[in-house]
Amino acid sequence: MISRENLKRVIVPQNMRFTLHEETVPRSILKDIADLSGTPHVLIITGLRRAGKSTLLKQINENLFSSKNTYLNFEDEKLLSFTTEDFSAVQETFLELNDRVEVVFFDEIQNVDKWEIAVRKFHNEGLKVIITGSNASLLSKEFGTKLTGRHLNIVLYPFSFREYLVFREIELSENDFYLPEKIVHLRKEFNSYFEKGGIPEYLKYEREEIIKQIYEDILIKDIIVRYGISDERSFRELARLLISNVGKLFSYTRLKANLGFGSMNTVKSHIAFMENSYMLFQVEKYDTSLKRQIINNKKVYCIDNSFLNLVSFETTVNLGRKLENIVFVELKRRKYTIHYHREKFECDFVLSLKNRVAGVIQVCYQLDNDNMAREINGIVEAVTLYQLKEGLILTMDQEEERSTNGISIHVLPVWKWLLR
């Protein structure tokens, strides 16, 4: 058990930092959280390590609630021996330091075994509880058993391009899309975002070591140690191989054979662990049959382009696939269900909302004579098959309107689409 005095030594300085005002980039997801803050539910914010969850908690505290709140971050090394039984002492310490507590913030709570029992207790006593964590599966599984129907999930992604511009202190107006000098400036900024990605700490200091350390922390702390992976070398090879091949088709069988895994289930579980930690995402082929969806080859995408540049096996990752990766993450941020289309031709993204196909998107770095027929045929086939009226092709810089077989095809630069 941790003594109340030792807890104070953690809680007091943490709360001083938590309530200290700092100029940070307002996260766009704050609007969604504001809509949910009045509900009686526990709010659970998940996302990649160092994507800004702790800063978001500060923004929530400053913008949405009164000062009768308290905070505890379980990443603190002084809390390594913390157990579920210590939560009672935490509550007593909170009340000792504050006459009344209305909202409790717990940061990276998955570090405590059986934490969900304590959260349920706080919730049952009428406190608003907001927690963060870096593992989607563990949090949802544990909440599902103890707080069924009493929690709401929110996913925080790295900076969007619009948030990146705010970080860069660049103001944006509608007229900017029509002014040549503004367009040149926005393209230049997008080129930087295209390479660096949107992880706040990396953008602030621009040190490659930061991304490499985040990558190591995810692999070791969030996956290898947590899940007890014994063959660390093969797991690392799998992670780098997938990051090096975003947007490409893969099969579990082929990965098993190429990397020498003992079973296909091991490959599946390892990839699931990476998904749970928000490093990678799998995309299945669109099919009305769930069984066929499961057995078809998959594609994989990465949470942020910074990893493609600094972790990949390839010295220069294909520019088209890097552009495709940015589009995928933005579609996740916009809460689409995402599949790929592949019949006679291929289309990169089939987007669904509420089990209905809402649109299709093709991504290529540049439309030219070498790829024009392939890209157009893919999107026309997808638009026709899913009974849509139009499709979208996203490129690095091109913009035009096309019509093929009565189908409208909009060609748009990714940077402009990201800001819409």
Q: What is the C-alpha to C-alpha distance for residues 11 and 7, in angstroms, rounded to an integer?
A: 6
pLDDT at 137: 64
221: DSSP letter: I
Which regions of the chain are under pLDDT 50?
none
Residue where the block lists tokens 């899913």? 386
Structure tokens at 399: 């913009």
Q: What is the C-alpha to C-alpha distance for residues 392 and 402, in angstroms, rounded to an integer?
A: 10
The predicted-structure confidence for 298-310, as pLDDT tens digits, reads as follows 999 999 999 998 8
Structure tokens at 198: 């949107």
The predicted-structure confidence for 190-239, as pLDDT tens digits, reads as follows 999 999 999 999 999 999 999 999 999 999 999 999 899 999 999 999 99
Domain boundaries, the chain: 4-156, 161-196, 200-418
The predicted-structure confidence for 31-41, as pLDDT tens digits, reads as follows 999 999 889 99
Q: Which fold has domain 4-156?
A: Rossmann fold (3.40.50)
pLDDT at 347: 98
pLDDT at 405: 87
pLDDT at 293: 76
329 touches 47 (CB < 8 A): no
68 touches 127 (CB < 8 A): no
Nearest to 51, CA basis, from 338, 306, 326, 311: 306
